[in-house]
Amino acid sequence: MAEKPQKANLLDLGLSDYAGTYRLQQELVARRKSGGLNKDLFLVTEHPATFTLGRRGGRENLMVSETFLQKRQIPLVHIERGGDITFHGQGQLVIYPIFDLRRGGLTVADYVACLEEVMLQLAASQGVVASRDKRNHGVWVGSKKLGSVGIAIRHGISFHGLALNVNISLEPFSWVNPCGLTGVSMTTLSREAGRDIQLAEVKQGVGDIIGAVFGRHISVVSEVPESDTVQ
φ and ψ of 186, to 5 deg:
-100, 160
Is 179 annotated as catalytic? yes
Q: What angle do CA 140, 160, 174 make, to 5 degrees?
A: 45
What is the Cα–Cα distance from 222 to 110, expressed in whole angstroms? 29
Among the listed residues 37, 4, 49, the one whose alpha carbon sits nearest the alpha carbon of residue 159? 37
Output the CA torsion sign for 141, 205, 92, 61: negative
Using DSSP's 3-state secondary structure scheme, residue 23 falls into helix
d(CA 186, CA 139) in angstroms, rounded, equals 11
β-partners of residue 176 are 62
**CA–CA separation, 37 and 135 (whole Å):** 36
CB 157 within 8 A of CB 170: no
Catalytic residue among 164, 179, 199, 206: 179
Active site residues: 179
